[in-house]
Every structure is written in C-alpha cells, then in structure tokens.
Amino acid sequence: MASRQPTPLESALSDLRQAVGPVTFPLPLARAAEQQQAVAEITRQLDDYVLPRLATIDAPLLAVVGGSTGAGKSTLVNSLVGRRVTTPGVIRPTTRAPVLVHHSSDARWFADDRILPGLARSTGSRNDAQSLQLVTDDSIPAGLALLDAPDIDSVVSENRALASQLLAAADLWLFVTSAARYADQVPWDFLHAAAARSAAVAVVLDRVPPRAMHEVPPHLGQMMSERGLQGSPLFAVPETSVDADGLLPVAAIQPIRGWLAALAADQSSRIQVVQRTLDGAIGALVTRTPELATAVEDQVEALDRLRAEVDHSYAEAVRTVQVQTTDGTLLRGEVLARWHEFVGTGEFFRALEQKVSWLRDRVVAAFKGQPPEVDNLKVAVESGLESLVRGEGDAAAERAEASWRANAAGRALLERSRDDLTRASPAFDRAVERTIRDWQGAVLDLVADEGMGRRSQARFLAFGVNGIGVALMIVVFAHTGGLVGAEVGVAGGTAILAQRVLEAVFGDQAVRRLAETAKEELDNRIEGLMATELLRYHALLDATPVDPAAPARLRAAADAVQRARADGLPSASVRDEAEPALGAAEERRAIAAPTVSQVPYTADLEADVLDAELVEPAPVRREDLR
C-alpha cells in the first residue's frame, strides 16, 4: 500500500500512545493494579485496532467470534464456513491458537502485522497462543473475516488475556454463549465493556433446548436491553446434533449466515459498523485516559508524603542536635569531669569571685606548657558529641521506617530496599567520627586565624591553640545568640569560665562572633551528615518510576484526540472492482445471503432439529448498524 500522511486524528492518537505507554503504578494504592491493567488495555487497543484500522479504513470487516468455554464457538465458525477450519475439543480449554478465516482476495490485509502485531502469522494448525493461524476460504465473502478466539473464561490465564485482546481488535463481536451459561458474570463483563464503548455486537445463544426456545432467548434479549445492548441482534441456535464433519445443520445457522452475508455485501453497512466500533473505541480511550492521570497524581502525592515524612524525621534529628549542642546538655558527665580536671575546679571557681585581671593571670599560668588534660578534654568533647549525633541518626532512621511501615506504599518501598532502614547506615558511625574531628579541626583553625592577627598574640600563645579551641567548644555548647545560654547550674558556671578565658584573649565581641561561626560550622556539618543518611530513602523514592509530568501529558493528549475526533472519522473509498462471486450456499455451505425471506420461528418443540431464530432485530436494516 502506498504511503500516506497520517490524519490529525491518527497523529493525536499516536501522541496518546506515547503518553500512555510509559505510565506505571508501582505503589500498591487503591485501584493501582486496575489502572496498570488499563494502561496495557489502552496501548493494546491502540496498537491492535484503533491505529491500524484508522490507517486502513477500507480493510475487511473483522468479526471476532468469542465467548465462554464450551459454548460452541469453533463449531459455529466451522458451520458458517462450511468445513472444518478450526478444531473444537472436549477437553477444556478448547481453542488455543486463534484462527482467522478470510477470502483469498483479502489475504493482503491479514498477512502482515496491520492488526494484532504481537501475534506471529502461520498457515498451519498450531497450538500456540502467540500465533495467528490464517485460513483462506472463498466460502467467506470478500470484505468479511471471521476470527475464532480462545475462551474468555479459560482456566489458562494466557488464553483469557488473548481472548480479551482479540475482542478489543474486532470491528464486530459475534459473542457466543449457551442456554446453560448465558447469565454467567464473565460473559456479561465482556458485553458490558462492548456496550461501554459502543462496539457492534451480535449475540449467538447456542444449544438452546427445544422446549426452552420460547423462554430463554426472550429472557436474554431482555437482559441485553437492560444493559445497553438493545440494538444488538440476538440469534438463538437450537440444541441439535452435528454431522460427520462436526458441522451444524444449515437450517440451524442460516439466519446468522444470511445476516453476515448481507453485511458483507453492503460496503456502506460494513463501513458504518467499522466507524461505530472505531468511534466507540476512541471515545472510551478519551474517557479512560483522565482516570489514568488522576491515578498517577495519587502515586505522585503518595511519594511526596513519604518523602516529607523522612525529611521531617531527619530534620528533627538535625534540630535536636542543634538544640542539645547549645543548651548545656553536653556539659555533663565526661566532658564536665575533663574540664574540671583541665582547669582545676576549686581554684577556678574561687577565681570567679576575684578580679578578672587576677583570673587572667591564673589562667595564663594554668595554660602554659599545654598540660595533657587539654587532650583528654578534647577527646571527651569529641566522644560526647559523637554519642549525641549517633543517637539522633538512629532515632531518625527508626522514625522514618515506622512512618513508612504505617502504610502500604511505604511498606512496598521498604521491601524493595536492599538496606536495613530501621537504623542508621553501617557507614554512619565512621562518618560521625570524621565529621566531628573535622569540625574540631575547623574550630582550631578558626581560633588560630583569629589569634595570630591580634596584639594579644603572646597571651594567645600562652593559652595554646588546643586550649583556646576546647574553651570555644565549651562556650558553643552553652551559647545562644552570642551569649551564655545556661545561666544556672554547673554547666552554666563551666561555660562562664570558658567564656572568661576567651575574653581574656580575644575580647567580648570577638568571642561572640567566634562562637556563632563555630556553631554554624557544626550545624552545617551535622545537616550534611544527616542529608547523606536521608539519601538512602530519597534513592528509593527517586527510583520509583512515577513521572510527575505524566498527568498533564495524559490530559493534553486526551483533549487533542477529542478535538480531532470531533472532525469525524475517515470514510472508505468506493471500490472500483466487483465483489468476488460467492459459491452456491447449499453446495458449499458458504456464508451467503438467503434466497428466501426469514420465516418466524414456528417449529415443533418435539423436532430433533430446529431452525435458528433471529430474535431481534429481524432482517438486517441499515439503521441497526448505526
């Protein structure tokens, strides 16, 4: 076929295909599995039917024969064709590989992957659900093809999925059910789907006991009317015996043959069926796509909530460390003991009552020679700070894990994680040690830079970098806004003493600035440390394939399709060549228009073979195909 430019509707539908295809629902939210199935159904509908049919509106009408297990689909197809082209079975499931029967002049329409591109073509009998067996038979009129589909309620899930796929690719559903199972839920699920997208449907009620012909078909017709299928033909086929070839008597299926033959013979009627089904399928896509967009937004919102929960957990850890490194919490235990050991508790506290200049002299004397206690104090500060940060890191992990564990989406992510998110990462302890040592080094550099540029350089050297550094750390641990924060208790006295030491070297204003700088440096390092831990959770969230931009793309694509659809569907070109002639109906049992008018059902209930009955409507009318 010659290349052609796609219509605006085809382009819009192609864009819709690109928007829908990548959509996933990885979080187990309400209806997530259903919406993921909808993605598969929409993409298959576009690939298998809508786009190919729009591009080849002149292609033959494809009637898919589908229905319940054991309803007699294959027997019906064979009987309509007039010979065995598909193999019925008594062991369930019966049909496996679908069989497509077409006229020889229509072979070009089905040999390639125009429709159902995922199924390989074959010309021999195969028991493979992933292949499509093509059968050429001129008993089928040109312009019509029959496809025998697997059971919609097969015990084999692969068969059920294939049946759904084939029915979605049909221009016309020839839906077969039996008198014993016509009220089952599974057939009606499919018929509801057909009604929802305005697909052309004809129902064959098979194996109707003679005595039930006046009761069961009208009841099924009433059910169809109540469920939106009031315009669909209903054929009742009596329960009867088959011949040696497994074919039903001609009289039992002649109304179905006649209806299909009349449809095949009228190109205008065929196009009306195609356009009705195609437009209904496109309308269903337009309706379903915004639902996908809403479901994706639910996924995005769930991820945002999970992200906010872990962010809050680690922000709380950072805040707690920030508070406890300024409120005197660290000036207890080992740190306090080492400080007292370093400065000589009694002498220094007595000095608080003397003149500052006298205290300064005593401090200078105490710090000369860098006593070993300064290193012990530095280690104690390091240890106390590390213990605080480690504890908050573990607490943050526990909070984060508990918040995720409280809902299905969070649990799903936790199960995908290769890390133990109930506690801090294995590398966290080493990272804390390195962070605290680096901060202490930064504090020593800070006081060294400050001290070397002052006139009090000699006094600074007398105290020593380490001594001044640990004194600044002590001030930081009870420091708020440049002032001593703990005003009572031993911790407060400790911080006051450390501040006096620093003021003796740098002066009041400098001490405040140094304390603020050191505290900011500590806060930034702790925040960076916790952010690294937080990345474990963010990595899980970021790896979850939900695109926040997808909802907008989906809605825009659906709107574009709706606008293009409003301009109408393409019409078929009028064929110049004459339709191929049909063989004799009685000799070859071909699908051919009946030569006599349909006679209302009046058969004797005791007869062995009854004529099929076209319950409603009567002979084909063009308005019934709209």
Residue with tokens 């309509």: 80
* DSSP H or E segment with residue 122: strand 120-122
The model's confidence at residue 626, banded by pLDDT at 50, 70 and 90, is very low
Question: Whose CA is closest to 201, among 106, 101, 67?
Answer: 67
Compare 409 and 194 and report the one with higher pLDDT: 409
Q: What is the pLDDT of residue 494?
A: 65
Q: What is the pLDDT of residues 536-549, one digit of tens each?
A: 999 999 999 999 99
Beta carbons of 285 and 16 less than 8 angstroms apart: yes
Angstrom CA distances, 80 to 85, 178, 604, stand at 10, 17, 24
Taking 3-state DSSP, the helix, strand and coil percentages for the chain, each rounded to the nearest 5, stand at 55, 10, 35
Task: Give every CB contact of residue 304 below 8 A, 6+ residues apart in sequence.
Answer: none
- Assess whether pLDDT exceeds 70 at residue 614: no
Q: What is the pLDDT of residues 454-478, one digit of tens each?
A: 545 555 555 567 777 777 888 888 7
Q: Compute how many other C-beta atoms are within 10 angstroms of the C-beta atom of residue 620.
A: 19
- Pairing assessment for the beta strands 234-238 and 479-480 based on DSSP bridges: unpaired
Q: What is the pLDDT of residue 335?
A: 66
Kindly state the average pLDDT of the residues 311-340: 83
What Rg, from alpha-carbon coordinates, does the chain have?
A: 42
Torsion of CA 409, 31, 159, 22, to 10 degrees: -70
Compare 482 and 32 and report the one with higher pLDDT: 32
Q: What is the pLDDT of residue 481?
A: 41
For 328, the token pair is 């005197």
- Assess whether pLDDT exceeds 80 at residue 189: yes
Kindly state the average pLDDT of the residues 241-260: 91
User: Which residues are bridge partners to 131 per DSSP?
Assistant: 120
Residue with tokens 């740190």: 335
Question: Burial, 10: exposed, middle or buried (Cβ in 10 Å; 0-12, 13-18, 19+)?
Answer: middle
Which part of the chain is CATH 3.40.50.300?
8-293+556-571+585-599+609-625
Q: What is the pLDDT of residue 21?
A: 96
Q: Compute how many other C-beta atoms are within 10 angstroms of the C-beta atom of residue 276.
A: 18
Q: Position 105: which residue type?
A: S
Q: What is the pLDDT of residues 14-24, one digit of tens each?
A: 999 999 999 99
Q: Top-level CATH class of 8-293+556-571+585-599+609-625?
A: alpha beta
Q: What is the pLDDT of residue 336?
A: 65
Q: In whole angstroms, what is the distance from residue 19 CA to residue 598 CA?
A: 50
Kindly state the average pLDDT of the residues 220-239: 91
The model's confidence at residue 564, banded by pLDDT at 50, 70 and 90, is very high
For 14, the token pair is 């192609």
- Assess whether pLDDT exceeds 90 at residue 50: yes
